[in-house]
Chain A
Amino acid sequence: MPTLTRTQRKKAAHLGVYAVLALLALLVALFADWPLLRLNFADGETWRALWPDIFLVAARNTLIYTVLAFTGGLALALVLALMKLSDVLGLRLIATAWIEFFRGLPALVVILFMALGVPLAFGWTPPGGTMGAGILALVFVSSAYMAETLRAGIQAVPHGQSEAARSLGMSSTWTFVSVVLPQAIRIVVPPLTNEVVLLLKDTSLLAIVGQQQSQLDLTSFGQNGLTTYSNPSPLLAIALVYLLITLPLTRLVAWLEARQKRAR
Chain B
Amino acid sequence: MADTTPATRAIEVRNLHKCYGDNEVLKGIDFHVDAGQVVCVIGPSGSGKSTLLRCVNRLEEPTSGQVIIEGIDITDENTDLDAVRSRIGMVFQQFNLFPHMSVLRNLTIAQQRVKKRSKDEAVAIAKANLEKVGLLGKADAYPAHLSGGQQQRVAIARALSMNPDMMLFDEPTSALDPELVGDVLQVMKDLAAEGMTMMVVTHEMGFAREVGDKLVFMDGGVIVEEGDPRQVLGNPQHERTQAFLSKVL
- A residues touching B (Cβ–Cβ < 8 Å)? 158, 160-161, 163-171, 174, 178-179, 182-183, 186, 263
User: Is B82 an interface residue, CB under 8 A from the partner?
Assistant: yes
- Name the CB-closest residue of B to A178: B109
16 new A-B contacts, CB < 8 A, other than A164-B92, A164-B97, A168-B110, are A160-B92, A161-B96, A163-B92, A164-B90, A164-B96, A165-B110, A166-B59, A166-B85, A167-B88, A168-B114, A168-B162, A169-B82, A169-B162, A174-B113, A178-B113, A263-B144
Question: Do A179 and B85 have beta carbons less than 8 Å apart?
Answer: no
Q: What are the 6 closest A-B residue pairs judged by CB atoms, nearest first?
A: A169-B86, A168-B110, A164-B96, A167-B90, A160-B96, A169-B114
Flag whether B50 is at the interface (Cβ < 8 A).
no
State the Cβ distance, B82 to closest chain A Cβ, in Å. 5
Q: List 8 A-B contacts (CB under 8 A).
A: A163-B92, A166-B59, A166-B85, A168-B110, A168-B159, A169-B82, A169-B87, A171-B82
Interface centre among B59, B89, B162, by most chain A C-beta atoms within 10 angstroms, is B59
B8 CB to closest chain A CB (Å) equals 23
User: What total of A-B pairs shows CB separation below 8 Å?
Assistant: 58
B residues within 8 A CB of A161?
A: 96, 98
CB nearest neighbor in A for B87: A169
Within 8 A of A (CB), among B111-129: 113-114
Check A160–B94 contact: CB distance below 8 A. Answer: yes
Q: Number of residues in B with C-beta < 8 Å to the partner?
A: 26
User: A56 vs B94: C-alpha distance in the bound complex, in angstroms?
Assistant: 54
Whether a CB of chain A sits under 8 angstroms from the CB of B83 is: yes
Pair A169/B85 contact, Cβ less than 8 Å: yes
B100 adjacent to chain A (CB < 8 Å): yes
Contacts of B96 in A (CB 8 A): 158, 160-161, 163-164
Residues in chain A near residue B158, CB distance under 8 A = 168
The answer to the question of B57 belonging to the interface, with a C-beta cut-off of 8 Å to chain A, is yes
| Interface: B46 (CB within 8 A) | no
Question: Contact between A170 and B114 (Cβ–Cβ < 8 Å)?
Answer: yes
- B234 interface residue per 8 A CB criterion: no
- Report which of A158, A167, A174, A186 forms a contact with B85, defined as CB distance below 8 A: A167
Q: Does B206 contact A (CB under 8 A)?
A: no
Contact of A169 with B110 at beta-carbon distance under 8 Å, contacts A163-B59, A186-B100 already known: yes
A182 to B89, CA, bound (A): 24
Contacts of B195 in A (CB 8 A): none
A168 to B162, CA, bound (A): 7
Specify which chain A residues have a CB less than 8 angstroms from the CB of B227 in the assembled complex.
none
Residues in A with CB closer than 8 Å to B59 are 163, 166-167
**Alpha-carbon distance A183/B96, docked complex (angstroms):** 13
CA distance in complex: A168, B156 (Å): 12
The residue among A160, A168, A170, A186 with the most chain B CB atoms within 10 A of its own CB is A168
Task: Check if B99 is an interface residue, CB within 8 A of chain A.
Answer: yes
Given contacts A170-B113, A178-B113, contact A164 B82 (CB under 8 A): no
